[in-house]
Amino acid sequence: EREIPADDPRLLLVARTLDNLRLRFGGGRSA
């Protein structure tokens, strides 16, 4: 198992991208 720090830049980038996709395609609903 790899341990990835919560503040890992790549992880933050992915999280932000997923948030953007959810906002764009999810109608702003969290899901």
Predicted confidence band of residue 16 (pLDDT cuts 50, 70, 90): very high
**Contact (Cβ atoms closer than 8 angstroms) between residue 19 and residue 28:** no
Quote the pLDDT of residue 28.
58
**Contact (Cβ atoms closer than 8 angstroms) between residue 4 and residue 11:** yes
Asked if the model's pLDDT at residue 31 lies above 60, the reply is: no
Tokens at residue 11, please? 């992880």
Quote the pLDDT of residue 6.
77
Asked if the model's pLDDT at residue 20 lies above 80, the reply is: yes
pLDDT averaged over every residue in the chain: 82
CA-angle at 8, arms to 29 and 15, nearest 5°: 15
In this prediction the pTM is 0.52
